[in-house]
């Protein structure tokens, strides 16, 4: 007596499960995250070959039918370096506090930590002390990807701290835009200035502009 087997397509089941994993994560995943979710690497490569996902960079994939990314550089860098924080010119641009157009993503890492390996887009790594690195981090949702960016007040303090890297004129311009475009939080500004050890440097500009 023969037993009929149910028709099953394990390949299709695996592909659909993998697609569901991508969708739940906003459409962008690193290879290590795909494996951690229980998706076999063969399935990921089959999705790539079929055009279901596209390779954004080394070890980073995105569902091909996802909506266009509004801020691709920040999303890509954050996906590749989740421990980093967007800072300086990139954070100013994000908060609309500069006329500069960053040609690379400024990314803060804690001093002594391993530098993220990112081939594209161009990244400028900024090392910060543990105390300065931890302060003022905001998390923003960009295209379903959680992106860590320093707050406007922390970014201003960082700009004065790293004025030799970005130019004092950039820091002063950002402070002027901050006064014009945002609710001024003097206590936060001075707290972050103290953390970054630039309170004495910032105070005259604050008194003049604010």
Per-residue pLDDT tens digits for 72-104: 788 888 878 889 999 999 999 999 999 998 889
Pair 196, 157: CB distance under 8 Å: yes
For β-strands 137-142 and 123-128, DSSP reports them as: unpaired
pLDDT category of residue 17 using cuts at 50, 70 and 90? confident
Q: Is the pLDDT of residue 7 over 50?
A: no
Q: Of residues 149 and 65, which shows the higher confidence score?
A: 149
Has residue 154 got a pLDDT over 60? yes
Residue 74 near residue 105, CB atoms below 8 Å: yes
Residue 9 has pLDDT above 50, yes or no: no
State yes or no: cis peptide before 121, omega within 30 of 0.
yes
Confidence band of 11 (pLDDT split at 50, 70, 90): low
| Residue 3 pLDDT exceeds 70 | no
- The pLDDT score that the predictor gives to residue 173 is 96
Residue 166: pLDDT above 90?
yes
Domain ranges of the chain: 10-63, 72-209
Q: How far is CA 102 from CA 31, 107, 153, in A?
A: 28, 12, 19
> What is the band of 135 on the pLDDT scale with cuts at 50, 70, 90?
very high
- The pTM of this model reads 0.77
With pLDDT > 90 as the criterion, what percentage of the chain qualifies? 47
Fold of 72-209: Beta Polymerase; domain 2 (3.30.460)
In what order do the strands lie in the sheet containing 105-110? Answer: 123-128, 105-110, 85-86, 145-150, 137-142
């Amino acid at each position: 007596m023969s037993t009929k087997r149910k028709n099953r397509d394990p390949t299709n089941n695996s592909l659909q499960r993998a697609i569901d994993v991508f969708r739940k994560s906003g459409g962008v995943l690193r290879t290590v995250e795909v494996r951690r979710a229980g998706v076999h690497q063969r399935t990921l490569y089959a999705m790539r070959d079929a055009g279901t996902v596209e390779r954004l960079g080394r070890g980073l994939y995105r569902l091909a039918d996802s909506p266009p990314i509004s801020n691709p550089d920040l999303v890509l860098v954050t996906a590749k370096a989740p421990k980093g924080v967007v800072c300086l010119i990139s954070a100013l641009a994000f908060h609309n506090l500069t006329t500069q157009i960053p040609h690379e993503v400024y990314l803060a890492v804690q001093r002594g930590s391993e530098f993220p390996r990112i081939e594209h887009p161009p990244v400028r790594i900024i090392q910060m002390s543990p105390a300065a690195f931890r302060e003022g981090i905001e998390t923003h949702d960009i295209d379903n990807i959680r992106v860590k960016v320093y707050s406007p007040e922390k970014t201003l303090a960082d700009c004065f701290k790293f004025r030799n890297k970005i130019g004092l004129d950039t820091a002063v311009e950002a402070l002027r835009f901050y006064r014009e475009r945002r609710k001024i939080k003097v206590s936060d500004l001075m707290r972050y200035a103290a953390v970054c050890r630039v309170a004495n440097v910032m105070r005259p500009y604050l008194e003049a502009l604010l």
